[in-house]
Amino acid sequence: MQILKFNPITKDRLFYNRYQYCISFRLDEINCLRELDHDYIDTIIARRRVWREVSQQRWIRPQPRPVKLHQTIMTHRWKEITERTVQKLHELADILIKTSIDFKLVTGYADQGWLYTNSISLIKRLSNNLNLEDKTYTKAIIDRPTNTIKLKNPNHNYRSYFKGIKLSESAQQNLKNFYCNQTDKNIRFSPALIDWFNNNFHRTQDYFFIDYNEESWLTMISLIQPGIIRKTIQIIPG
């Protein structure tokens, strides 16, 4: 009997507030399964093949000398889609279409997929699927009340996460000025947010956060950049 080892992830709720288990894996062109429909898969594959052929002709020229591709996001976009890759996608889609087990499939940009479910049997079936590579298994362990985060010896009461949105250069500078003017230890900016202040990339990330004690800090941030806060949770000692 196959025994799977699930890595525990402590959380304030189940995955997507519904599922206890997750299997992650790699499969080329996995995001063609955003819709579990065989005709949809074939349509997206056909579009990608045309797009990649046009892109190669446009960007890779033999003159004056061949261009060597570096390992960037574009190399994946130009990667050949083989018939075996298409077959693997249809085989996985067929498994998921036919199952009566509740699940949620999430796909990344390139080849990363995550399937969430409460069924160990479905996880095991995918674990035995040789088409899926680099499989890992996680289990949600609820160890705190909803909308809280545990920190050792916390110095703040609340944590607010940013939305992932694109800002103007002036809006980014306004947030940076607010940060530079703070000497009060009652507010803390996440390291990733501080790094963001010093680059030319104007899009915020949803893992940027601020820790603070008084709710007035949240009001100030919202006045500087309305709508930037995604969610707020309470910090508890753990």
- Please check whether residue 123 is in contact with residue 4, taking contact to mean a CB–CB distance below 8 angstroms: yes
**Within 10 Å of residue 61's Cβ, how many Cβ atoms?**
11
Distance CA 38, CA 33 (A): 9
**Where are the CATH 3.30.70 domain residues in the chain?**
148-237
Model confidence pLDDT, tens digit, residues 51-99:
888 776 665 555 455 444 444 444 455 678 999 999 999 999 999 999 9
Q: What is the DSSP letter of 6?
A: P
| Predicted pLDDT at 228 | 96
**Within 10 Å of residue 29's Cβ, how many Cβ atoms?**
21
Dihedral sign computed on CA atoms, order 215, 217, 220, 224: negative
- Please check whether residue 148 is in contact with residue 11, taking contact to mean a CB–CB distance below 8 angstroms: no
Has residue 29 got a pLDDT over 60? yes
Give residue 210's region: left, alpha or beta (phi > 0; psi -120 to 50).
beta
Dihedral sign computed on CA atoms, order 169, 232, 7, 85: negative
Fold of 148-237: Alpha-Beta Plaits (3.30.70)
Distance CA 96, CA 105 (A): 9
Q: What residue type is 203 in one-letter code?
A: R
Name the token pair of 35: 């819709």
Distance CA 105, CA 113 (A): 7
Distance CA 190, CA 30 (A): 32
DSSP string computed for 47-115:
HHHHHHHHHHHHH---SSSPPPPPSSHHHHHTS---HHHHHHHHHHHHHHHH--S-EEEEE-SSSEEEE
| Predicted pLDDT at 238 | 86
Model confidence pLDDT, tens digit, residues 169-210:
999 999 999 999 988 788 999 999 999 998 889 999 999 999
Mean model confidence pLDDT for the chain: 90
The whole model's pTM is what?
0.79
Of 3, 28, 128, 123, the residue nearest 83 (C-alpha):
28
**Ranges 61-65, 122-126, 141-145, 167-171: which has the least confidence:** 61-65
Mean pLDDT across the stretch 105-130?
95
